[in-house]
Structure 1
Amino acid sequence: MPKSRIRKKTDYTPPPGARQAQAIKLTNRSWVAPVMLAMFLIGLAWIVMFYVTDTRLPIESLGNWNIVVGFGFIAAGFGVSTQWK
């Protein structure tokens, strides 16, 4: 069995400025998780409130469209989650 070659080059390490730029990019998305969870919880609370109050709340005039509004909030939460890194 032939012996493998030994690597002579050192591994590439990015300059210090690149590391700081990556850290800044990660902190810019800190709003995503709270907004995503808030959307999920608002949508869930909307649907639960609709069923628990026997279709009188949150908005009685919408009728069964309240379910669509609740799932809309949940879908918006999934849309925001695509921004999470």
Structure 2
Amino acid sequence: MPKSKVRKKTDYTVNSASRTPVKVKAGPSGVVYQSVMFGLMLLGLVWLLVYYLGASASTYGGEGKFLNWMADLGPWNMLIGFGFMVVGLLMTMGWR
């Protein structure tokens, strides 16, 4: 029976220059970035608190009341509040 050919294995060498760590030359995040980040998270929390405590139909159920527009949004308030908080949390990925 004929013998199969033996393939010559090529030596895979890793380029050592591509594996050296690169130092990022960016400084810390600015005060404005941090303020916006934390502000959005707090705004979302305050939005949900105001919705639960102040805009319920039993508290301000009539027309022309202070938070009637917020009560009219109904379940969309959850999306708005959590949306602010998620955007703030996503900004933490860029925080240095």
* TM-score for both structures, normalised by structure 2: 0.55
1:14 matched to which residue of 2? Answer: none
Helix, strand or coil for the counterpart of 1:26? Answer: coil
Letter in 2 for 1:82: M
Higher helix share: 1
d(CA) in 1 for partners of 2:33, 2:27: 11
CA contact (8 A) 1:32 1:83 kept: no
2:77 matched to which residue of 1? Answer: 66
d(CA) in 2 for partners of 1:47, 1:67: 7
**Structure 1 residue ranges without an equivalent (≥5):** 1-21
Pairwise CA RMSD of aligned residues? 2.1
Letter in 2 for 1:78: L
CA contact (8 A) 1:32 1:81 kept: no
1:50 correspondence with 2:61: no
The runs of at least 4 aligned residues of structure 1 exceeding 6 Å deviation read: none
* TM-score for both structures, normalised by structure 1: 0.61
Query: Which has the higher Rg, Structure 1 or Structure 2?
Result: 2
Identity across aligned pairs (percent)? 30
Helix, strand or coil for the counterpart of 1:78? Answer: helix
**Structure 2 residue ranges without an equivalent (≥5):** 1-24, 61-66
Letter in 2 for 1:36: M
